[in-house]
Structure 1
C-alpha cells in the first residue's frame, strides 16, 4: 500500500534517536540526532508501493549496529529491524626494501584504512604461503586498522613475492608484488675471503715461529741480557770466579 501519507521513521536504539524522519509528505530534519545531520536521504521513487530506502552518506564506524524502520498511519503501524555492518577496504599495500638482514634483504609491506582487523600474508610466485619475519597490526585514531608485515628474502629463496591484505568480512583483498634482482643481494668478495684466511694463518704462524726461534737459540747455549746475546757457558764461568773470590776474602 502507498506510504505517501504515512510517517516513515528510521531510528537507532530508541524511538527518539531519529536517523531520518518523513511525515506529512516531506522530510523533517529538525529531530535528527547530531551525528546524522546532513548525511541521510530517503529514496521515495517507489513510495506509492510502500517501498522506501535510506541512504547514509560519509559512512563512519559509529554507524555500525541496529536500525529500525517504522511505517505508521492513523490506523496502524509496522516496523522492521535492520543490522548494519560497516567494513573498510583499505589502501593498496606498499612494499619497500629496508636493508640487509640475516644474509638476505628485509622487505616491508604496509597498508592502512581497514576495518575490521584484516588478515595479512606473504605469497610466493607459485601461491604458497611464506613465513613472515615480523607482523604488526594497530588501530589508528579513526579506529581503522593499519598493517606492517616484513619478510627476509634470500638469494636462494623466491625472489618474487606478493603481499596480500584481506578483509574477512567483505571477503575482498588487495595485493602488491615485488621482484628483487640478484645484484641487490649481499655478496662476499673472494679477495676478502682470502684476506681473512691469510690473517687467520698469520695469527697462528707468528707465535709458532717466535717460539721455534727462541728454542733454537736456547739449544745453542745463548741467552739475552741487556738486549745483547751472551753465551751461556761464559756467564757460568764468570759466576764461578766470583764465588771463588768470595771464599779467598
Structure 2
C-alpha cells in the first residue's frame, strides 16, 4: 500500500469507474515516492550520539507505515523496527537495545531517520533504511572514529639536543602524526610508534629533534583525514633550554668540589708521607751507625759463652725499627683518611645549606602556582588546539595544576636528597670517630714500641757494662 500526498489510505473503494481511477492515481503516486539519504557517509566519534538520515520524498505521514533499520552483517539484522505504531524492541539485535530510536513527531513529516546513542567502534558499518510497503531500501554508511588529547614532553639526547615527544592514546582509525614549526613548516621527525590496544584503539607516539627558531613554538598534530578528526597542541620552548646545560648544575658542582677536595687531600698526604720517610731514613741511618759501633766494642768484652747466650741485638733493633716504621706509616694513612672525612662532611653540609635555600624558593613558587587559575584551551569544530609552555627544564606548564604537580615533585626530590645527605653525614661522622680512635690507639702503640725498644737497648748496655 502506498500513501497519497495528503496522507489518506490507498485502499481502493468499490465501483468499477472509481476503482480504475484510483488505480491510475495509485500507480502514479507510488512511482513518485522515494527514500532519500545523503551521498556522504555519516561520521561519529566514540561515545557521542549520531543521526542516520533517511526521508520520504515527497514527505508524507509515515507513522502508520512499517519502518525497518537493519545491518545485513548482523544476526538478527534488525537494529530498529517500527510497526503498527509501536517500536518492536524484541526484534533488535542485543547490541542495539535501548540505543536506537526514531522520532514519532518526525515520522508524521516523512522523516524516518535513526538516532543511535553512545556510538561504539562496532557500530561502524552500512545500515539499510527499509520501507516494506514501498519495497525500497537505501544504504547509509556510518564511519566511527576516536580521538584524544595530546601530551608533549621534552628531554635532552646524549648529544645534548632538544628532543620533543608527542603522545596520544585512544584513536581510531589509525592516525598520522605531524610536527610543524611556528609558521606551519613540516619538521622531519622519526617514525611514529603505533600500538593497538585490546579495545581496538590506537596509541601513537612521535619524537622530533628541534633547533632554536624565531619564536620557538612547535606544534604536534594528530589527524585522521578520512574522518576529518584533528587534535593539535602547541608548545613553547624557552631560549635558555637550547643552551648547553648539565642535567643538574648542583650535581656537577658537587662532583667538581669532591674531586678537587680528594686531589688536594691526596697531594697533602703524599707530601706528608714523603717528609716522614726522609726524616725516618736520616734519623735511623745515624742511629744504626752509632749503635753498630757501640755493639762491636761491647761484644769484644764478652766471653765466648756470653756471646752465644746474648740475643742478636742488631737483628732485634732491625725488627724494632721496621715495626716502628710500619706503625708510623699506618698512622699517616689514618691521619689522611680522617682529614678526608672531615672535609667531606663539611662539603656535604654546605651543599645541604644550598639545597635548603632552593627548597625555600621552590615552596614560594608553589604557593604562587596554587593561586593561579588561568587555563587556555581552544576548541574549533573537529579541531582541538591547546597551548603548552615549557620551562627551562623541559616540563609542561599548560595550566597551574600541571605546574603545581611539577613543583611538588621537585620538592619531594629535594627532600629525598636532603634526607640522603643527612644519612651520609651521619655515616661519615661515625666513620670519622672510628678513625680518630684508631689514630689514638696507634699513637699509644707507637709509644709502647719506643718504650720497649729503649728498655731493650738499656738492658744490652747494662749487660755490656757489667761484663
2:211 equivalent to 1:154: yes
Equivalent residue in structure 2 for 1:43, among 103, 126, 131: 103
Q: What's the CA shift string for 1:6-46, capped at 9, x where partnerless?
A: 11111111694110111110111111111111211112322
Q: Which runs of 5+ in 1 are unaligned?
A: 190-249
The answer on whether the counterparts of 1:44 and 1:53 sit within 8 Å (CA) in structure 2 is: no
1:71 is displaced (CA, Å) by 1.3
Matched with 1:246 is none
| Gap regions ≥5 residues in structure 2 | 1-59, 247-467
Q: 1:135: how far off?
A: 1.9
Corresponding pairs, count: 188
- Residues 40 and 57 of structure 1 are in contact (CA less than 8 Å); yes or no, is this contact kept in structure 2? yes
Q: Distance in 2 between matches of 1:157 and 1:4?
A: 64
- Residue of structure 2 in register with 1:22 after alignment: 82
Please tell me whether Structure 1 or Structure 2 has the larger radius of gyration of its CA atoms: 2
User: Structure 1 126/101 Cα, relative in aligned 2: closer, same or farther at 3 Å?
Assistant: farther
Q: Deviations over 1:112-162 (max 9, x none)?
A: 222211121110112111111342122222212221001122347973211
- Greater helix content: 2
The root-mean-square deviation of aligned C-alpha atoms, in Å, is: 2.6
CA distance in 1, matches of 2:63, 2:238: 67
Q: Deviation digits for residues 157-193 of structure 1, max 9, x if unmatched?
A: 973211011121122421111122233335279xxxx
The equivalent residue for 1:80 is 138
After superposition, residues 143-222 of structure 1 pair within 5 angstroms as: 143-155=200-212, 159-185=216-242, 187=244
Q: Distance in 2 between matches of 1:183 and 1:51?
A: 62
Q: 1:92: Cα distance to partner?
A: 2.4
Give the whole-Å Cα distance in 1 for the aligned partners of 2:88 and 2:237: 60
- 3-state SS, counterpart of residue 45 of structure 1: helix
- 1: CA distance between counterparts of 2:165 and 2:158? 12
Q: Normalising to structure 2: TM-score of the pair? A: 0.37
CA distance in structure 2 between the partners assigned to 1:18 and 1:155 by the alignment: 59
CA distance in 1, matches of 2:76, 2:183: 57
CA distance in 2, matches of 1:158, 1:47: 57
Contact in 2 for aligned 1:153/1:159 (Cα 8 Å): no
SS in 1 for 2:122: helix
1:112 aligned residue? 169
Cα offset, 1:68, TM superposition: 1.1
What secondary structure does 1:169 align onto? helix
Deviations 1:204-245 (Å, cap 9, x if unpaired)? xxxxxxxxxxxxxxxxxxxxxxxxxxxxxxxxxxxxxxxxxx
- Report the secondary structure of 1:30's partner residue: helix
Q: In the alignment, is the contact (CA less than 8 A) between 2:143 and 2:227 conserved in 1?
A: no
Does structure 1 conserve the Cα–Cα contact (< 8 Å) formed by 2:130 and 2:138?
A: yes
Greater fraction strand: 1
Q: 1:102 aligns with which of 159, 162, 167?
A: 159
**Structure 2 vs 1, CA of residues 145 and 157 (structure 1 numbering), >3 Å: closer, same or farther?**
farther
Q: How many Å apart are 1:99 and its aligned residue?
A: 3.4
Structure 2 CA distance for partners of 1:69 and 1:155, relative to 1, 3 Å: closer
Post-superposition Cα deviations, 1:34-84, rounded to whole Å, max 9, x if no partner, equal 1111211112322123221111111111111111111134xx532222222
Name the residue aligned to 2:396.
Answer: none
Structure 1 CA distance for aligned equivalents of residues 165 and 98 of structure 2: 41
